[in-house]
Structure 1
Amino acid sequence: MATSFTPATAQKARPAAFAQCAGCHATEAGKNLFGPSLADVGGRRAGSLPGYAYSPALKASGLTWNAKTLDRWLTSPRKTVPGTKMPFNGIHDPKSREQVIAYLLTL
């Protein structure tokens, strides 16, 4: 996937593919559901949001969320970080994944 994400290409509207994320993740700051809040996820170190119990694997991953790392993660979370507790098989359609990433980076 090209890493051509910029504010100009980011979508403000929530893409349809985000529905599979919204069941577990809120987009409001401070609101954790089954998964952590995705508010301000761009630039955040993986496993670092206070108040959420991350897996030791994600905390130790050293990832910082940007277009490239989100693309790898959303393609296959368990391949990106073996031992993650995220029960998600990934977004396999590149266009849908790109739309979700662009949206996440606007939060």
Structure 2
Amino acid sequence: MRKWILAAAMITAVPVAAVAADADAGKTVFNKCKACHQVDKNAVGPHLGSLIGRKAGSLEDYKYSDALKNSGITWDDASLDKWLQGPAKDVPGTKMIFAGIKDEGDRANLIEYLKTLK
């Protein structure tokens, strides 16, 4: 019985990177983001070009909430997956008002797409 429980726990703990992701499908998911974000310039939200590896709240030409600036987040697969599930749950006090993306595959695809943006 213990081996089965351990195996089940290991299966549910599969990291986001293990989910097959498709950048082209992520480009379609990005349509949900376009109301506030652009790739190459700030809009309602900060631009998302070269997001991976960037410290949250670090663009000098965008006014972030103190909560996000002080979050200590550096954007990678895991931090983006958590953020995209609900920004206000991840960083209370953020200015980003977005319910989140519930579908794990959509999040993985979107993250894969964001990796392509320079």
TM-score by length of 1: 0.88
Equivalent residues in 2 for 1:9-88, closer than 5 Å: 11=23, 14-28=26-40, 31-88=41-98
Q: Percent identity?
A: 47
Superposition deviation, residue 13 in structure 1? 6.5
Q: Distance in 1 between matches of 2:60 and 2:24?
A: 26
Report the structure number with the largest CA radius of gyration: 2
Q: Unaligned 5+ residue runs, structure 1?
A: none
TM-score by length of 2: 0.80
Superposition deviation, residue 3 in structure 1? 3.0
Deviations 1:29-74 (A, max 9, x none): xx10000000000000000011000000000000000000000000
CA RMSD of aligned residues (A): 1.9
Q: Give the one of 4, 10, 16 matched to 1:3.
A: 16
Runs of 4 or more off by more than 6 Å in structure 1?
A: none
Is 1:92 matched up with 2:102? yes
